[in-house]
C-alpha cells in the first residue's frame, strides 16, 4: 500500500491522499480502535470538529482531540449501526477528502458498534441459533449468549419484517420476503400479532428446526387464521417441505390458481368449506343462505374438477389450498 501511495503521489496528489485515508481507517479497524479513538483520528485528518451520536450518547471533539459541545448546523453526516450518525462540523463544500473521511469514519464506527453493542451481539446470536448450517457448538454458544436454558423447550415465532415482535429478534432474508424471528418459551402465550407462524417446540440446540417450521406456518396463514402454529399442521409440515423441492405444480393447485385468478372472492368460501364440517356451517359463518352456499359449492366443484362437498373432496381442497399458499404467500 505504501509503495502504491508514493507512485500515485507523483501522478495525482489527491488520489494518493485518498488512499492514505483508506489505509489509515483500515489500520484503526484492524487494531480494534474504539469509537473515541476513531473520531479523534478523523478530526485530526479533517482539521476540524468531528462527532457521532449513538444510542442516546453524543460525542464531539475538535482537531486537537479535545471534547467540545456540538455546534448546531446542517453538517455533512453519514449513518451507521441502527440509529447512529457521524458528522463533520464543516459546511459544504468542504475539503477534497471530507466526504471520504466521513464515509470511512461511519464504516469504522459501524464495525465497532457491530463488535461491541449488546444489540448487535444479541442479533448475531439470534441469527446463529436458528441457522441449521451453523455447527452445533456455535449454536450452543449462541444459546448461552441468549441465556436460553438447555433443558427447556422454546419456540421460534416468525412474522413479516414490518410487524413488531417484543424482545430480541433476528432478520432473515428468505425467498418469501424479509422475515423477523423471535424466540419464546414453549409454554408462553401466543403474541397477539398477525400474521404469525409459531414453530415446533425444541431445545435450544435444535431451534433451527423450530425456525423452519415457524416459517412454514407463517406461509400457511390466512385472513381467517392469522396465527398459525406448526403443531396444528401435522403431516403438512413434511408435505410442505417436499412441495418446496418440487418443480412441478400439482393439477389441483393449477386448477385452484386459475379459479382464484378469475374469481378472487372464491378464496374465502373455499377456505370456509375446507375448515367447516358442513355447508350449513359455512352458510352461518359467511352469513349466507344455505341454498346459496350449496349452489356456489357446486359451481366451484365444477371449476376445480372434483367435488368439494364430499369428505374426500374437502381433503383434496385442504391440501390444494395449503400448497397454493406455500407457492404464492409473500411477505415483502
166 and 78 in one domain? no
The domain in which residue 177 lies consists of: 120-232
pLDDT at 62 (0 to 100): 93
- Are 213 and 162 part of one and the same domain? yes
Q: Report the distance separating Cα 47 and Cα 109, nearest Å.
A: 19
DSSP secondary structure letters along 259-297: HHHH-TTHHHHHHHHHHSSSHHHHHHHHT--HHHHHHHH
Residues 108 and 157 in one domain: no
Domain boundary, last residue among 116, 142, 175? 116
The answer to whether residues 168 and 102 belong to one domain is no
| Residue 267, domain member (yes or no) | yes
pLDDT tens digits, residue range 275-311? Answer: 887 878 877 777 777 788 888 889 999 999 999 999 8
Q: What is the pLDDT of residues 169-203, one digit of tens each?
A: 888 999 999 999 999 999 887 777 789 999 999 99
Residues 10 and 82 in one domain: yes
Given the DSSP bridges, would you call strands 196-198 and 227-229 parallel, antiparallel or unpaired? parallel
- What is the pTM assigned to this prediction? 0.72
Do 161 and 101 belong to one domain? Answer: no
Q: Are residues 108 and 137 in the same domain?
A: no
Residue at 227 is within a domain: yes
Do 224 and 145 fall into the same domain? yes
pLDDT interval class at 16 (50, 70, 90): low
- Does a structural domain hold residue 186? yes
Answer with the one of 232, 262, 277 that is the final residue of a domain. Answer: 232
Which pLDDT belongs to residue 11?
Answer: 47
57-113 confidence digits (pLDDT tens): 899 999 998 999 888 878 999 999 878 999 999 877 678 788 999 999 999 999 998
Q: Domain of 324: which CATH number?
A: 1.10.10
Could you tell me if 110 and 7 lie in one domain?
Answer: yes
Cite the beta strand spans of 111-226 per DSSP E: 154-160, 169-174, 177-185, 196-198
* Percent of the chain with pLDDT strictly greater than 90: 50
Domain boundary among 80, 99, 116: 116
Q: Is residue 193 part of a domain?
A: yes
- Residue 238 inside a domain? The answer is no
Residues 26 and 47 in one domain: yes
Domain membership flag for residue 241: no
* Inside any domain, residue 187: yes
Tell me: do 206 and 258 sit in the same domain: no
Name the one residue in this structure whose C-alpha cell is 466521513: 102
Give the pLDDT band of residue 205 (cuts 50, 70, 90).
very high
pLDDT confidence of residue 13: 55
Q: 240 lies in a domain?
A: no
- Strands (DSSP E) contained in the chain are 50-54, 57-61, 77-80, 84-88, 154-160, 169-174, 177-185, 196-198, 227-229
Residue 219 Cα distances to 94, 184, 188, 275, angstroms: 51, 19, 22, 17
Going by the DSSP 8-state scheme, the letter that residue 106 receives in this structure is: H
Residue 153 has pLDDT above 90, yes or no: yes
Q: How many domains does the chain have?
A: 3
CA dist 305 and 186 (Å) reads: 42
Q: Are 28 and 101 in a shared domain?
A: yes
Amino acid at each position: 500500500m505504501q509503495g502504491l501511495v508514493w507512485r500515485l503521489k507523483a501522478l495525482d496528489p489527491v488520489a494518493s491522499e485518498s488512499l492514505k485515508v483508506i489505509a489509515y481507517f483500515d489500520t484503526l479497524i484492524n487494531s480494534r480502535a474504539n469509537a473515541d479513538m476513531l473520531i479523534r483520528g478523523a478530526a485530526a485528518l479533517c482539521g476540524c470538529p468531528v462527532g457521532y451520536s449513538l444510542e442516546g450518547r453524543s460525542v464531539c471533539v475538535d482537531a486537537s482531540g479535545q471534547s467540545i459541545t456540538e455546534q448546531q448546523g446542517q453538517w455533512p453526516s453519514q449513518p451507521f449501526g441502527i440509529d447512529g450518525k457521524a458528522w463533520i462540523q464543516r459546511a459544504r463544500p468542504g475539503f477534497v477528502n471530507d466526504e471520504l473521511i466521513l464515509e470511512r469514519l461511519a464504516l469504522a464506527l459501524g464495525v465497532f458498534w457491530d463488535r461491541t453493542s449488546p444489540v448487535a451481539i444479541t442479533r448475531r446470536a439470534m441469527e446463529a441459533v436458528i441457522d441449521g448450517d451453523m455447527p452445533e457448538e456455535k449454536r450452543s454458544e449462541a444459546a448461552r449468549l441468549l441465556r436460553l436454558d438447555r433443558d427447556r423447550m422454546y419456540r421460534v415465532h416468525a412474522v413479516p419484517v414490518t410487524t413488531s415482535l417484543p424482545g430480541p429478534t433476528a432478520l432473515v432474508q428468505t425467498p418469501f420476503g424479509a422475515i423477523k424471528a423471535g424466540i419464546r418459551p414453549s409454554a408462553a402465550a401466543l403474541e397477539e400479532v398477525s400474521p404469525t407462524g409459531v414453530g415446533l417446540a425444541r431445545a435450544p440446540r435444535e431451534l433451527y428446526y423450530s425456525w423452519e417450521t415457524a416459517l412454514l406456518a407463517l406461509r400457511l396463514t390466512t385472513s381467517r387464521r392469522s396465527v398459525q402454529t406448526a403443531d396444528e399442521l401435522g403431516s403438512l409440515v413434511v408435505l410442505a417441505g417436499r412441495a418446496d423441492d418440487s418443480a412441478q405444480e400439482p393439477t389441483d393447485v393449477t386448477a385452484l390458481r386459475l379459479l382464484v385468478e378469475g374469481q378472487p372472492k372464491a378464496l374465502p368460501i373455499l377456505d370456509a368449506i375446507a375448515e367447516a364440517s358442513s355447508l350449513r356451517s359455512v352458510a352461518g359463518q359467511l352469513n349466507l343462505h344455505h341454498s346459496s352456499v350449496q349452489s356456489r359449492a357446486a359451481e366451484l366443484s365444477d371449476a376445480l374438477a372434483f367435488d368439494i362437498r364430499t369428505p374426500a373432496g374437502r381433503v383434496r381442497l385442504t391440501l390444494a389450498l395449503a400448497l397454493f399458499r406455500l407457492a404464492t404467500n409473500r411477505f415483502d
